Structure 1
Amino acid sequence: MNEAPNDFPDSELDPHEAPARKPRKGLYVLPNLFTLAALFGGFYAIVMAMNGRFENAAIGIFCAMVLDSLDGRVARMTGTQSAFGEQMDSLSDMVSFGAAPALVAYEWALRDLGKLGWIAAFVYCACAALRLARFNTNIGIIDRRFFQGLPSPAAAALVAGSIWLAVDAGWGPQTHPWLSGVMVFITLYAGLTMVTNAPFYSFKDFSLKRSVPFALLVALVLLIALVSSHPPIALFALFCCYSLSGYVEYGRRRWKGRHASLIATSTDEPDEAGLHG
């Protein structure tokens, strides 16, 4: 009789039993379905912008933002996280919150500005790529309560929200030429804010399983009522406030003499006081 392989004790071997097959490698459907739906929202926004339907384009970006916020939570709740899902999510974010807002803004107001217009759109798109790459490489060495720089979905919402607000009011670059200059500012502001070190609250420490004060529930009801009353104005105002909150937090930390950034300049040796201060 042949000797048993060294990997198994003799008592566990059955000479008549076929060797066990390796489990098949597969993909989890549910979280990746949300990711693909978010990717579709970004693609839909690009197609709508190419056809001059900018309100639909803005709504597509907002839908992608909602779906993107769900895929990670669904994966954690169902225990279906995977490396494939993480990479898929990043690629989807690049399309929905990087390329799509830049192209929608360019088609709506930046095209007529010539070189300045496409440069502003490219800066936004490039900053979104840099922000996503930095986020992926800094996972585990940064305070999870805050984002380092404006999150790409919020930046996309700022750009798309401004377009949705103007279209809803019946304004356009043809009738109001100053809107092109405003769009350049918003696009550059959103793009460059993504790559700053300003700390933006991540809401990751908010748990649905944790008890909350009754006043918070009332505030959420009022927020939902406010947004539903007139979504273009409410959403644009909401994300304007959020896009400024990081600089307010940055200034507050500097005023108190604390570390203002979330991570050290060199990621090889992170400044622990800076991470949690």
Structure 2
Amino acid sequence: MDKLQRPGISLRAIAPNAVTAMALCTGLSGAWFAMQGRWEAAIAAIVGAGILDGMDGRIARMLKGESKFGAELDSLSDVTAFGVTPALVTYMWALQHMPRFGWSITVFFALCMALRLARFNARIDVQDQPHKSAGFNTGVPAPAGAGLALFPMIIWLETGLDIARNYYLVAPWLLFVALLMVSSIATFSWKSIRIPADMRFFALVAIAGFAAALITAPLITLAVVCVVYLALIPLSMWRYGLVKKARKSAIPAEGA
């Protein structure tokens, strides 16, 4: 006689969801730090949420614990950690001093993050996603958008320049990042990067160097990452244009 299976959720399904919940709590804590004026801690909380967000999907695939529940929880976590929290932190840091439109811009950024993730979920089961299938994201992904939103604060903390905190600069920047997130431009996807076998050792050295830089000089390192990421966007658009052109030229050859 077969043993009756107990109802419930297996540990392999709980583990990735627990990491996602940790990412949500860590990211939301950034707003709590901002209420106390602890800006560096607020940035660290959002960066920590980004690290956890990068782990949960890999843990789910490794344990074969993917689920619809996990996907929905991940989207809610991303909206909170990378949409609501950076918007609130930026508002408390600079935009609260902006007359009339400071809060509107804050809400707009959080809304764009929610719209981006809703668009992703609506297409999650659609096979024809040219950006994704070619190794590109559609628009700037959530963690990158949060990091770019905090770029003026990072500059201000590192340099002490008051102009970086001026809402005449911060407000247009936040709008720009919000539009990047909901845009249809192609951006590089880290998941598509394949490291050649003979370069893996050097890749490990580079990762270790990045980790050391992030520990010893976190603000400078984050600023450099933001600048490099922005510089790569035109390159990713150009590369995706080549991919589209190659695909179009391959269609008649297949039909012949």
TMscore range, shorter length: 0.7 to 0.9
Instruction: Give, as a single letter, the amino acid of the residue that structure 1 aligns with 2:9.
Output: G
Work out whether 1:155 is the aligned partner of 2:145.
Answer: yes
Unaligned runs of 5+ in 1: 1-16, 261-271
Among candidates 87, 98, 104, match of residue 83 of structure 2: 98
1 CA distance for matches of 2:98 and 2:39? Answer: 18
1:31 to 2:16 alignment: yes
How far is the alpha carbon of 1:193 from its aligned partner?
0.2
Is the 8 Å Cα contact of residues 58 and 161 (structure 1) preserved in structure 2? Answer: no
8 Å CA contact 1:55–1:168 kept in 2: the answer is: no
* TM-score (normalizing by structure 2): 0.82
Q: In the TM superposition, what is the alpha-carbon distance from 1:151 to its structure 2 partner?
A: 0.3
Q: Deviations over 1:203-258 (max 9, x none)?
A: 113469x735144344334433443442112212212321342333224555x5x6
1:211 is aligned with what amino acid? A
Select which of 119, 133, 139 maps to 1:134.
119
Displacement of 1:117 after TM fit? 1.5
Q: Which has the larger radius of gyration?
A: 1
Q: Following the alignment from structure 2 to structure 1, what is the Cα–Cα distance between the partners of residues 22 and 100?
A: 33
Matches within 5 A, 1:162-173: 162-172=152-162
Q: Within 5 Å, give how 1:66-77 maps onto structure 2.
A: 66-77=51-62
CA contact (8 A) 1:148 1:196 kept: yes
Question: How does 1:116-127 map onto structure 2 within 5 Å?
Answer: 116-127=101-112
Distance 1:118 1:26 in 2: 41
Q: 1:245 to 1:206 in 2, by over 3 A?
A: closer
Q: Aligned AA for 2:170? A: M
**Among 239, 244, 269, the residue aligned to 2:226:** 239
The one of 203, 224, 238 aligned to 1:216: 203
Distance 1:178 1:161, change over 3 A: closer
Superposed CA offset, 1:178-219 (max 9, x none): 6322211221121110011111111113469x7351443443
Confirm or deny: 8 A CA contact 1:158 1:236 kept in the other structure: no
Q: CA deviation at 1:141?
A: 2.7
Q: Distance in 2 between matches of 1:226 and 1:20?
A: 54
> How much has 1:155 moved relative to structure 2?
0.7
- How far did 1:152 drift? 1.0
Q: Answer whether contact 1:147 1:200 (CA < 8 A) is retained.
A: yes
Equivalent-residue separation in structure 2 for 1:52 and 1:178 (angstroms): 14
Kept after mapping to 2: 8 A contact 1:55/1:163? no
Query: Is 1:56 matched up with 2:41?
Result: yes
How much does 1:135 deviate? 1.2
Name the SS of the counterpart of 1:204 in structure 2: helix
Work out the number of aligned pairs and report it: 240
CA RMSD, Structure 1 to Structure 2 (Å): 2.7
Moved over 6 A (4+): none
For 1:30-88, what per-residue CA distance to the aligned partner results, in whole angstroms no more than 9, with x for missing partners?
A: 11111111111121011111222222111111110001000000111111111111100
2:168 aligned with 1:181: yes
Seq. identity, %: 32
SS in 1 for 2:191: coil
Q: State the match for 2:253 in structure 1.
A: none
Deviates more, 1:68-77 or 1:116-125: 116-125
Change (3 A) 1:237 1:177: closer
Q: In structure 1, the residue corresponding to 2:166 is in which secondary structure?
A: helix
Could you say if the C-alpha distance between residues 251 and 169 of structure 1 is closer, same or farther in structure 2, counting changes exceeding 3 Å? same
Higher helix share: 2
Output one character per residue of 1:83-110: Cα deviation in whole Å (capped at 9) or x when no partner: 1111000000000001001110011001
> Alpha-carbon deviations, 1:106-132, whole Å to 9, x = none?
110011112222222122111101110
Counterpart CA distance in 2 for 1:35 and 1:72 is 9
